[in-house]
Amino acid sequence: AQSVSQHNHHVILSEAASLELGCNYSYGGTVNLFWYVQYPGQHLQLLLKYFSGDPLVKGIKGFEAEFIKSKFSFNLRKPSVQWSDTAEYFCAALDRGSTLGRLYFGRGTQLTVWP
Amino acid sequence: SQTIHQWPATLVQPVGSPLSLECTVEGTSNPNLYWYRQAAGRGLQLLFYSVGIGQISSEVPQNLSASRPQDRQFILSSKKLLLSDSGFYLCAWSVAGYYEQYFGPGTRLTVT
């Protein structure tokens, strides 16, 4: 079965620091990849997605992610974080070979940004 | 635009009592519907999914069941709650196919 790994469970940064959150998936076939974010007290919402084409995708609030097929990775980046980026971030992969398109989530990374 | 509702927002129930959590989606037809449980540090666990009325698939055998009585309504139930059923339950929908899922606000269930 496919799995998604997020290696950082809790990341603490100061404002203006650069961010990179790691995500690796295990499936070798065609996948759609996502980053979701959950701000304190809010819904889980989509940050960005990759289906095909340019492996560098840009999302909301200045976030971007790069799909590297050879490394089975889809790392999330932001050049300069803000206090308002404090949230939990989830990487997810969707197996396009399945009949449903099952979404597999990583365990999440809690990002804390100090002002 | 599409919206997804879940209720109740929070629920405290004694062990052995029944459970019914409801999820409804507005603004779309024939969505795929999902129930997840979110545990701290463990990501999201898919419990059930449905591709149509009356069509339910279970991912994890457990004390819970799901039903889809209407196209845009998804219900999570239990006849007798266990302590281990405590958690944060999320409903989600997607366009049929291989697209992103959209999540509801969730229900915090505490079994005492």
d(Cα B112, Cα B14) in Å, to the nearest integer?
5
Give mean pLDDT, residues B6-24. Answer: 96
Residue A99's Cβ-count burial label (10 Å; 0-12, 13-18, 19+) is exposed
d(Cα A6, Cα A109) in Å, to the nearest integer?
7
Nearest to A106 by CA among B97, B49, B38: B38
Nearest to A26 by CA among A47, A2, A49, A56: A2
Pull the structure tokens for residue B12.
Answer: 């405290």
- pLDDT (tens digit per residue) in A69-108: 999 999 999 999 999 999 999 999 988 777 666 788 999 9
Lookup result for tokens 């698939």 = B57
- pLDDT (tens digit per residue) in A29-41: 788 999 999 999 8
Lookup result for tokens 């990759």 = A50
Task: Please give the pLDDT value at position A101.
Answer: 66
Minimum distance, in Å, between the CA of residue B40 and any CA atom of chain A: 8
Query: Cis peptide before B8, with omega less than 30 degrees from 0?
Result: yes
pLDDT at A7 over 80: yes
Per the CB < 8 Å rule, is B43 touching A108? yes
Q: What angle do CA B82, B88, B91 make, to 5 degrees?
A: 110
Nearest CA in chain B to A91: B43
Nearest CA in chain A to B48: A102
Question: What mean pLDDT is reported for chain A?
Answer: 92
Give mean pLDDT, residues B25-53. Answer: 89
- pLDDT (tens digit per residue) in B45-99: 899 999 999 899 888 767 899 999 999 999 999 999 999 999 999 999 998 766 8
Q: Which residues contact B17 (CB under 8 A, 6 or more apart)?
A: B80, B81
Minimum distance, in Å, between the CA of residue A29 and any CA atom of chain B: 14
Of B42, B49, B103, the CB nearest to A107: B42
Question: What mean pLDDT is reported for chain B?
Answer: 92
d(Cα B104, Cα B34) in Å, to the nearest integer?
10
- pLDDT (tens digit per residue) in A11-59: 999 999 999 999 999 977 788 999 999 999 888 999 999 999 999 999 9
Is residue A9 within 8 angstroms of chain B, CB to CB?
yes
Task: Please give the pLDDT value at position B39.
Answer: 80
What is the total residue count of chain B?
A: 112
d(Cα A109, Cα A87) in Å, to the nearest integer?
8
Nearest to B32 by CA among B81, B83, B66: B66
Task: Please give the pLDDT value at position A27.
Answer: 79
Task: Please give the pLDDT value at position A1.
Answer: 60
